[in-house]
């Protein structure tokens, strides 16, 4: 099995400060975008699957 360690010993960041924060912010936006996409996907799929039956139920 290949080594799959996650050691951070001796870590020397090549980018720090503002650039690191910018990258972090971009990742957060990407995660937010994916979550929003999932909400839209589930909403759209529900409407498509239920179709006209959405209205066809006892109130």
Partner 1 sequence: MTDVVAQAHVGDVPRLNEPTVGDYVALLKPRVMSLVVFTALVGMVAAPGSLHPVLGFIALTMIAVGAGASGALNMWYDADIDARMARTAARPIPRGHVTAGEALCFGTILSVGSVLVLGLLVNWVAGALLALTIAFYVFVYTMWLKRRTPQNIVIGGAAGAFPPMVGWAAVTGSVSLESVLLFLIIFFWTPPHFWALALYRCRDYERVGVPMLPVVSGAHETRRQILLYSLLLVPLAVTPYFVGLGGITYLVTSLILGAVFLALALNVRRVTEGREGDAAAKKLFTFSIFYLFALYAVLLGEHLVKGLAG
Nearer to partner 1, 52 or 58 (CB): 52
- Binding residues (CB under 8 A) for partner 1: these are 1-15, 19-20, 23-24, 26-27, 30, 38, 41-42, 44-45, 48-49
Shortest Å, Cβ 9 to partner 1: 7
**Residue 15 to residue 27: CA distance in whole angstroms:** 15
Q: What angle do CA 33, 38, 39 make, to 5 degrees?
A: 100
Nearer to partner 1, 2 or 55 (CB): 2
**Contact, 47 vs 54, CB < 8 A?**
yes
């Amino acid at each position: 099995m290949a080594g799959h360690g996650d050691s951070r010993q001796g870590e020397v960041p090549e980018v720090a400060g503002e650039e690191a924060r910018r990258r972090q912010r971009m990742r957060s936006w990407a995660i937010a975008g994916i979550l929003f996409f999932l909400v839209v996907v589930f909403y759209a799929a529900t409407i498509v699957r239920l179709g006209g039956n959405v209205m066809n139920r006892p109130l």
